[in-house]
Structure 1
Amino acid sequence: MKQEIDFIKCNPTQNMTILVRTDHAAEHYSGIASSLMSYDHVYAEQVGFIKRSRRQEAAARLEMAGGEFCGNACMALAAHMASEIGLEKQGSMKIKLDVSGTDDLIVCHVKRQEHRYDCRVTMPVPQQIERRMITFEAMELEMVIVRYAEFIHIVIEVQDLDDLMKQRAQHLARLLGITMGDTMIGILLYDPVTKEMTPLIYVPKLDSLIWERGCGSGTASVGAYLAWHRQSEVTQSIKQPGGAIMVTAQWNAEGVNDITIEGTVEIVACGTAFIDTSLEQSRSIVEV
């Protein structure tokens, strides 16, 4: 049986994102997302579902397929909504979103350029940041844990990133997915010299393990880590395989208290996708 899916495909820093406009029950999110994300289908790194929010102050609700939070998907939805209302060139607007993975309303400032939308998005603030040394796969590994209410990011400073380190990151992500119970695990390999980040995102509910081209929430976590480490406000452009995302993390005596990221979104496709609802597909590791 074929099911029709009304979708938009967006490009926030090459973190290719599919937004589903048709209404579906949450128990079908995983199967729909696995089909849409696959190489032989629409193909993307993540899928979000646009819903009506029960919070009056929010313009819409965004539910990611694995229940995780995603900053780039917030930018994508804000750009789509600006496009839908016909925002004029150089026009700007503010959109509040209700998003899975956080209880905070996400505020998106959108400005339309010729063929893209510039977005600035408020991000969840970590509940805790701590440095920890562990022994993992016969090596001493120093990492910084950036913990949120429903997800966790691990920042590991690296130089000369090689395949062995990437393999270890994959193993660590899966291990944490089994033991931590979070909706999303991010392993952020960060080079403090070049200011480059290579993000690995694992969503246990979907068994989706992807080296992303760009990661908004990971950018926010690196910004939070830098502010925590320096104990001062940080504004930093974080280079990633798909481009750069700007982060600003505010700092006061109580710690990191405000984070925003800035990036660009292009709407690259929209239309109807067809999936076989009788097939249950699983998502395995994808190297991008």
Structure 2
Amino acid sequence: MPLYPFWKVTPGGNPTILLRAQDIAPARRAAVAAGVMSPQHIGGEQVGYVRFEGVPRLDMMGGEFCLNATRAFAAVLASQGLLQRHGAVHTGEVEVSGADALVRVRVTEREDELPLAEACLHFSELPRSEACGDGLSLVRVPGIVHLVHQEGAAPLPGEGCLGAFCSDERRAFTLDGEEAVGHLWLRHADDRTDARTNSGQPRSLVLDPVVWVRDTATLCFESACGSGTLACALAEHAATGATAFAIVQPSGSALSVRMEKTEQGWDVWVGGPARLTACGETELSGLL
């Protein structure tokens, strides 16, 4: 049985396994991912399949788009010398499943700190936050749809009720056909949070993300969620006009969002620390 190179990266939470396993048929990738995520194997919250040759490419386990995995991939590419280097900053572009265009990435080395890994999405217009009543909004970002529960709306269900709640919610909004759906609970860090972020002070928020992936039939309480962070920032931007956010993840790490207006539309950068926790080769016996 051949051995497959892998990298395990924790991009501010959300431990992500990246496999260099291009010869694994797409139809088998969901099953392989489920096995590799098991605590009896490498262990993690999600799996992506990577290609380094040509334009680097990341395919997620369910074909969805994932900002955190993109940031993890950027960290691996920087460690391999596969991004352009300008001093402490590594830059480049990557292909990612679920994204229609190349995604810009940037990794900044920091003394005595983990590298800052960022990914940028460009929009001609920012995705709309659709109000659904009762403090709930729906935000569509590349590859995934998010339902954002604002503070004071439906509380986060207990573990025993979570699956049924999320299933009912997806059914109510006809989302069972989507590649992936995020169920997000967002609250302010405290009552004194400054919403005037255009003066340079990010709006501080706290996120509890739960993500369902259709093709792997998984519902995971994630320790961090990049696309969910983006969706929450878009919902807050629609409500307040703020353009910079620091959103604390269940891991305790904060991910940042910056919305920059350009002549062509908007560049939205999502960033945070990324730790390369392990790398090596793994056997996939019984999973292929």
Contact 1:233–1:248 at 8 Å: present in 2 too? no
2: CA distance between counterparts of 1:142 and 1:160?
5
Match in the other structure for 1:108: 105
Of 223, 234, 245, which residue of structure 2 is paired with 1:236?
Answer: 245
TM-score under structure 2 length normalisation: 0.81
CA distance in structure 2 between the partners assigned to 1:106 and 1:214 by the alignment: 20
CA drift at 1:241? 1.3
**Residue type at the aligned position of 2:246:** S
In the alignment, is residue 94 of structure 1 matched against residue 91 of structure 2?
yes
Is 1:6 the counterpart of 2:5? The answer is yes
In percent, how many aligned pairs have the same letter? 26
Larger proportion of strand? 1
Return the alpha-carbon distance in structure 1 between the equivalents of residues 58 and 105 of structure 2.
13
State the distance in 2 between where 1:132 and 1:162 align.
Answer: 16
Within the candidate set 171, 187, 210, 1:200 is matched to 210
1:95 alignment partner AA: G
Counterparts in 2 of 1:131-280, with a 5 A limit? 131-133=131-133, 141-148=134-141, 150-158=143-151, 164=157, 170-175=163-168, 179-180=174-175, 181-194=177-190, 195-230=205-240, 232-242=241-251, 243-250=253-260, 257-277=266-286
* Alpha-carbon distance change, 204 to 245 in structure 1, aligned in 2, over 3 angstroms: same
Letter in 2 for 1:70: C
**Letter of the aligned partner of 1:37 in structure 2?**
M
TM-score normalised according to structure 1 size: 0.81
Deviation at 1:111, TM superposition (A): 1.2
Q: Does 1:25 find its partner at 2:25?
A: yes
CA deviation after TM superposition for structure 1 residue 34, in Å? 0.5
Give 2:72's match in structure 1, choosing from 76, 80, 90: 76
Unaligned runs of 5+ in 1: 134-140, 280-288
> How far apart, in 1, do the equivalents of 2:59 and 2:154 lie?
33
Residue 36 of structure 1 aligns with an amino acid whose one-letter code is V
Structure 2: which 5+ residue stretches go unaligned?
191-204
- CA–CA distance in 1 between the matches of 2:74 and 2:102? 13
Cα drift, residue 90 of structure 1: 5.9
Contact kept in structure 1, 2:141 and 2:227, CA below 8 Å: no
* Counterpart-to-counterpart distance in 2, 1:38 and 1:19: 14
How many positions carry a matched residue from both structures? 264
Q: Do structure 1's residue 65 and structure 2's residue 61 form an aligned pair?
A: yes
- 1:198 deviates by 0.4
Q: Deviations over 1:12-55 (max 9, x none)?
A: 012100000122221111111001101211000000000267xx
Q: 1: CA distance between counterparts of 2:211 and 2:115?
A: 25
Decide whether the 8 Å contact of 1:224 with 1:249 is kept in 2. Answer: no
Q: Deviations over 1:190-233 (max 9, x none)?
A: 01354210000110110111111111111111111111111x24
3-state SS of 2:135 partner: strand
SS in 2 for 1:271: strand
CA distance in 2, matches of 1:156, 1:251: 27
Q: Which amino acid aligns with 1:248?
A: R
Kept in 2: contact 1:233–1:250 (CA 8 A) = no
Residues 20, 246 of structure 1: alpha-carbon distance in 2 compared, 3 angstrom cutoff? same
Secondary structure at the aligned position of 2:73 is classed as helix
Note if contact 1:173-1:185 (Cα within 8 Å) is conserved in structure 2: no
Per-residue deviation, 1:108: 0.7
